[in-house]
Structure 1
Amino acid sequence: MSFFSEKVVIVTGSSNGIGRGTAVLFAKEGAKVTITGRNAETLRETKQQCLQAGAREENILEILGDVTDESFAAKLVTATVEKFGKLDVLVNNAGGSSFANIGKGILDIPIAEFDQMMDLNVKQVLRISQLAVPHLEKTKGAIVNVSSIAARHNLLPFPYYGAAKSAPDQITIQMAGSLIKNGIRVNSVNPGPVLTNGVVAAGATKEEQDKMFEGAGQIMPLGRVGVPEDIGKIILFLANRSQSEILIGHIVTADGGIMIKSAMFPDS
């Protein structure tokens, strides 16, 4: 029997990309999964993939909404516990960037965009985690945050995104140190380029997105960009106490080797 059989999991931002791939993997392992996103059509597609992976209809809860909305965050946790009776794992995956001011220097971009990036990538993580903790204490559960290697790069096209993504790293460490006292493990995964529609969602064209991924694949030591399932497997590992109990406040860099490349000797 899988560790996740009958476990209850929330995966934010699961209507596409990493969140979808992760939700499907949890469903395949027998978990009861709450999936959520802002697009009803793509959220239905995620549900269908979960069902195709072996989940029962009654074990998938769809909740349409925006995680930056405080009332929705409360609804997300409450509805999950009301339907399934508990909560074992919270995956804070939802996040994103903006192409509105791509390429501008950090001091040339309106502060309003910084606020937007913080709302989308930081505040909602804290808010949903606060709501989830009382339930995770009862199950000795886990929180897995999804950040980005942008947290540690000079990300010229998206400086506010990089700044916002640095916060979840420290949040993971602070939460881990605090919550382990209550039996809750907190860890994070920081992906590099992953083949999703996130660039288009941020305001780019499909052609711009394809060009970015093609370029990334050419410079990655692995020889390809990641796919959602690559990151989903790491998330499941971090959430699985039977395999990763010793990991507390750990930040897994999942970037196909980009972080080991030298700026001075890029071909080495």
Structure 2
Amino acid sequence: MTRFSGKVVLVTGSSNGIGRATAVLLAQEGAKVTITGRNAQRLEETRQEILKAGVPEDHVLAIATDLATEQGQDELIDSTIQKFGRLDILVNNAGAAFNDAEGRTGVDQDVSVYDKIMQINMRSVVTLTQKAKKYLVETKGEIINVSSIGAGPQAQPTFLYYAMSKAALDQFTRSAAIDLIQHGVRVNSVSPGAVLTGFGEAMGMPAGMHEKYAEFISSHKECIPCGAIGQPIDIANIIAFLADRKLSSYIIGQSIVADGGSTLVMGMQAHDMMSILKS
């Protein structure tokens, strides 16, 4: 498959999880890809996975940098243009959630947690998009943001600031889409539900805890009606669909929810009424 032949893609947060799966998939389908993350070892693992898929080595640019800094963002854009000469698709996938140092949740969380989350999940998306804009206008390119069902409308008191950042990202997606479509650039997003990635460990969960959590919610239909937690490739396939103008050209400023049905049920609806009446 070579539907992205001749295209250049920048995928942030591609050292693991959804970003890695997306970079591998788009590279397999012909794109030249820039992958990036702060962890150089995990980033190299992504690069090796791409190469094992039969992608030429000169089709992959790996840059270990801190996306939250202006310097890191400049390095990403400048190095991509220097090596590949263009930019067609920007996937704003990098994101983070942090626990309060004293274990506080809800509105009691320290505002420093808010600042850290917004810096990565929102501000970096805005500034990287600004830096990439002129190149995407030249190619009539695509932007795909990775949001979350945490954006709402359901409350998220445990991860309040994370949910706020994703709600802001959804508004940025809508507004940027209308702003940029006049230049031929499409902006859309995907909102994953529970997906088995390294996100839990990155938040500070002990090893194996995220898998335990995944097993629990997968077995409870009030959490995931389809009965299975998502895999990174499930989201990568949606990103590829949104990046493919032949397939999704009329989709502008929208977010595709991919959550196994989680946002369609309420707790009271998740249990079978007839079974309750018979008990």
Calculate the TM-score normalised by the size of structure 2.
0.93
Instruction: Kindly indicate whether the alpha-carbon contact (under 8 Å) linking 1:102 and 1:158 is maintained by their aligned counterparts in 2.
Output: no
Match of 2:179 in 1: 178
Please state whether the residue corresponding to 1:203 is helix, strand or coil. Answer: coil
Instruction: Output one character per residue of 1:46-77: Cα deviation in whole Å (capped at 9) or x when no partner.
Output: 00111112210001000001110111111101
Match of 1:239 in 2: 243
Indicate whether 1:228 and 2:232 are aligned: yes
Kindly state the Cα deviation for residue 3 of structure 1 after the two structures are TM-superposed: 2.4
Match of 1:266 in 2: 270
Match of 1:169 in 2: 170
How many residue pairs align between the two structures? Answer: 268
Match of 1:190 in 2: 191
Instruction: Output one character per residue of 1:91-124: Cα deviation in whole Å (capped at 9) or x when no partner.
Output: 0000011133597342211100000110010000
Please state whether the residue corresponding to 2:267 is helix, strand or coil. Answer: coil
Instruction: Kindly indicate whether the alpha-carbon contact (under 8 Å) linking 2:37 and 2:64 is maintained by their aligned counterparts in 1.
Output: yes
| Shift in CA distance, 166/11, structure 1 to aligned 2, threshold 3 Å | same
Amino acid at match of 2:195: V
Please state whether the residue corresponding to 2:95 is helix, strand or coil. Answer: coil
Kindly state the Cα deviation for residue 222 of structure 1 after the two structures are TM-superposed: 1.5
Match of 2:260 in 1: 256
Instruction: Kindly indicate whether the alpha-carbon contact (under 8 Å) linking 1:90 and 1:143 is maintained by their aligned counterparts in 2.
Output: yes
Match of 1:25 in 2: 25
Match of 2:157 in 1: 156
Instruction: Kindly indicate whether the alpha-carbon contact (under 8 Å) linking 1:100 and 1:203 is maintained by their aligned counterparts in 2.
Output: no
Match of 2:204 in 1: 203
Kindly state the Cα deviation for residue 188 of structure 1 after the two structures are TM-superposed: 0.3
CA distance in 2, matches of 1:254, 1:233: 11
Instruction: Kindly indicate whether the alpha-carbon contact (under 8 Å) linking 1:14 and 1:46 is maintained by their aligned counterparts in 2.
Output: yes
Match of 2:2 in 1: 2
CA distance in 2, matches of 1:199, 1:156: 17
Mind listing any 5+ residue stretches in structure 1 that lack a counterpart?
none
CA distance in 2, matches of 1:199, 1:99: 11
CA distance in 1, matches of 2:147, 2:101: 21
RMSD of aligned Cα (Å): 1.3
Calculate the TM-score normalised by the size of structure 1.
0.97
Instruction: Kindly indicate whether the alpha-carbon contact (under 8 Å) linking 2:8 and 2:89 is maintained by their aligned counterparts in 1.
Output: yes
Amino acid at match of 1:226: G
Amino acid at match of 2:151: A
Percent sequence identity is: 46
Aligned pairs for 1:80-159 within 5 A? 80-100=80-100, 104-152=104-152, 153-159=154-160
| Shift in CA distance, 2/117, structure 1 to aligned 2, threshold 3 Å | same
Instruction: Kindly indicate whether the alpha-carbon contact (under 8 Å) linking 2:107 and 2:160 is maintained by their aligned counterparts in 1.
Output: no
CA distance in 2, matches of 1:50, 1:102: 40
Match of 2:43 in 1: 43
Please state whether the residue corresponding to 2:229 is helix, strand or coil. Answer: coil
Kindly state the Cα deviation for residue 267 of structure 1 after the two structures are TM-superposed: 2.2
Instruction: Kindly indicate whether the alpha-carbon contact (under 8 Å) linking 2:86 and 2:135 is maintained by their aligned counterparts in 1.
Output: yes
Mind listing any 5+ residue stretches in structure 2 that lack a counterpart?
273-279
Kindly state the Cα deviation for residue 241 of structure 1 after the two structures are TM-superposed: 0.4
Bigger radius of gyration:
2
Indicate whether 1:213 and 2:214 are aligned: yes
CA distance in 1, matches of 2:233, 2:247: 18
Runs of 4+ in 1 over 4 A off after TM superposition: none
CA distance in 1, matches of 2:47, 2:249: 29
